[in-house]
Amino acid sequence: MRLRNIPGSREAIAASGWCIQEPEKARGGWNHIFGNEHPIHIEIGMGKGQFLIQLAKENPQINYIGIEKYSSVLLRALQKLEEDPLENVRFIRMDAEELCQVFGRGEVSRIYLNFSDPWPKDRHAKRRLTSRQFFTRYHEILAAGGRVEFKTDNTALFEFSLEEVTAAGWRLDDFTRDLHHDPVMREGNIMTEYEERFSALGNPIHKLVASPYSISVTLAGESPSR
């Protein structure tokens, strides 16, 4: 999602208490930001925040962090949160490539990826948020029992993602190529902005849920306390 550059969006984000400035300083201490020990779920590439904000309203016992690369897009999510504040939500403007500088080992319990950019050229495959390179980053920050949930209407990206789950050494917990007609997986589904747009065109929505096999394996030189 690219919006026209909105003048003042960077400044509005820098001045907002809902947006975490210098998020790398919170690494390992995100629970202090929220003032509780609730699990932390993140959405990467949240766009204007419709999905994350609805999820946060329905689950006050979970802390949610929305990550978005572009200020002009994040500003739209920020405006929604300012109109209808939720104590369990924070935003970060950042590129997901920096995830491991911002979250410590095992600090995140769930990662949502919704309608991620497809990066159709082969040479850009590692930029896709479901590439094996990104699964390696997710493994580093996920807590035991943590998982990734990914939705898209892009069939090529979905097939690529299914392959990458295996290539990354992860377990495919569940998947469907038609979420809205899957009696089990559609349960409690919250639509994103892109999901509303593309399903209205008749596109089936694909979803996968994946988790690392070796989440409890002790990493070299670390205590097995995750």
Closer residue to ligand SAM (CB): 44 or 185: 44
CB 174 within 8 A of CB 138: no
What secondary structure letter does DSSP report for 218? P
CB of 8 to ligand SAM, least distance (A): 18
**Beta carbon nearer to ligand SAM, 3 or 143:** 3
Chain residue at closest Cβ approach to ligand SAM: 45
For residue 211, give the amino acid letter.
Answer: S
Nearest-approach distance from CB 37 to ligand SAM, in angstroms? 27
Token code pair at residue 169: 């050494």
Active site residues: 117
Q: Which residues pair with 148 in a beta bridge?
A: 111, 210
Cα(53)–Cα(99) distance, rounded to whole angstroms? 21
Which residues are near ligand SAM by CB under 6 A? 1, 44-47, 67-70, 73, 95-96, 114-117, 192-195
Minimum Å gap between C-beta 68 and ligand SAM is: 5
Closer by beta carbon to ligand SAM, 32 or else 125: 125
The answer to whether the CB of 168 falls within 8 A of the CB of 203 is no
